[in-house]
Amino acid sequence: MLVRIKAASLNYRDLLILRGQLGKAREGLIPFSDGAGEVAAVGAEVTRWRVGDRVAPLFYPDWTAGRFREAYGPAALGGGDADGVLADLVVMPETALVRIPQSLSFEEAATLPCAGLTAWHALVVRGGLGQGDTVLVQGTGGVALFGLQFATALKARTIVLSSSDEKRKRATELGAWKTANYRTTPEWDVEVRRVTDNIGVSHILELGGPDTFDRSLRALAAAGHIAQIGVFTGFGPQSNLIRLQLINASIDGINVGSGEHFAAMSDFIDAHAIKPIIDKRFAFAEVPAAYDELASGRHFGKLVIQL
């Protein structure tokens, strides 16, 4: 398949790759995992797609369905040795593409392959999120806001942590039930318990890592679910897991998601008219400025490159 990429988006991972924090990337690597575009040409044996179809490449091109396998890891787009999507044209096998939601523009759909799918996999596929649940998300970046939007659509209540009172307001407008400033309220776990009548939250998107993990455990309700996702404060959180046992709770490690998960997410996005939150758009020549913007943490939601 030859795919003409129309838009790409940045993830925190792209910053980690640029800084060499995810191992050495090949010199000349084409960055970014997340993009969307249309089919420009198909090979003779392609059966699934036609020229003009609106598609996105899978973050893990080989993880089409079923359980994750470690062998899928090295092919993750835009890292290590695997070129990504910051290109006018990419060549992919037909199985490595998924259709994008009809209701989204290319720019909006370009935010889904890593950020959207990770939040979906964590909350819906593994978490079984539903009405009456409570969700905690950390920050107002890509994964966190998708978590807020999916949870709101499922009639769950979401608490958003942010270092910015301005962003807390925007999160409330987007459907957050409660918010807290994790800078001015560093003991946010106490605040979470206070606003939940000391019950805690049933689902947590753990994005912080070592500095947030213990607070997440304390903010978790009995029988709750932590999705271990992020590394904002470093790799390798260490915790005394006895609380998990005492409250019959669970932790799932989450690593993006499969093509099957993506298809279900796209249907949900169409059905619930969810619009990914794009903070800023950049031209190709402005990619370095987009990296700087990501590093600054000023963004609310996603940063997108127009191609």
Structure tokens at 267: 């249907």
Query: Which of 56, 159, 180, 229 contacts ligand NAP by CB under 6 A?
Result: 229
**Cβ-closest position to ligand NAP:** 141
Stretch that binds ligand NAP, among 76-84, 142-150, 215-223, 242-250 (CB under 6 A): 142-150
CB nearer ligand NAP, residue 4 or residue 170:
170
- Does the footprint of ligand NAP cover residue 265 (CB under 6 A)? no
Cβ-count burial of 280 within 10 angstroms (0-12 exposed, 13-18 middle, 19+ buried)? middle
What's the CA gap between 261 and 113, in Å, rounded?
Answer: 10
Query: Which of 85, 114, 274, 307 contacts ligand NAP by CB under 6 A?
Result: 114
Query: 232-261 mask for ligand NAP (x: CB under 6 A)?
Result: xx--------------------xxx-----
Least distance from ligand NAP to the Cβ atom of residue 237, Å: 12
Contacts of residue 188, defined as CB under 8 A and 6 or more positions apart, other chains included, come to 161, 180, 182, 215, 219
**Within positions 18 to 47, which residues make up the interface with ligand NAP, using CB under 6 A?**
none
What's the CA gap between 151 and 87, in Å, rounded?
Answer: 33
Least distance from ligand NAP to the Cβ atom of residue 199, Å: 22
**Beta strand spans in 50-101 (E):** 54-57, 89-91, 97-99
- Does the footprint of ligand NAP cover residue 162 (CB under 6 A)? yes
What's the CA gap between 232 and 244, in Å, rounded?
Answer: 22
Q: Please check whether residue 185 is in contact with residue 191, taking contact to mean a CB–CB distance below 8 angstroms.
A: yes
- Does the footprint of ligand NAP cover residue 230 (CB under 6 A)? yes
What's the CA gap between 146 and 140, in Å, rounded?
Answer: 9
Query: 70-109 mask for ligand NAP (x: CB under 6 A)?
Result: ----------------------------------------
- Does the footprint of ligand NAP cover residue 9 (CB under 6 A)? no
Contacts of residue 96, defined as CB under 8 A and 6 or more positions apart, other chains included, come to 57, 58, 61, 62, 64
Q: How many CB atoms lie within 10 A of CB 281?
A: 15
Least distance from ligand NAP to the Cβ atom of residue 52, Å: 30
Query: Which of 61, 208, 224, 237 contacts ligand NAP by CB under 6 A?
Result: 208
Interface residues with ligand NAP (CB under 6 A)? Answer: 11-13, 114-115, 118, 138-144, 161-164, 167, 182, 207-208, 211-212, 229-233, 254-256, 294, 297
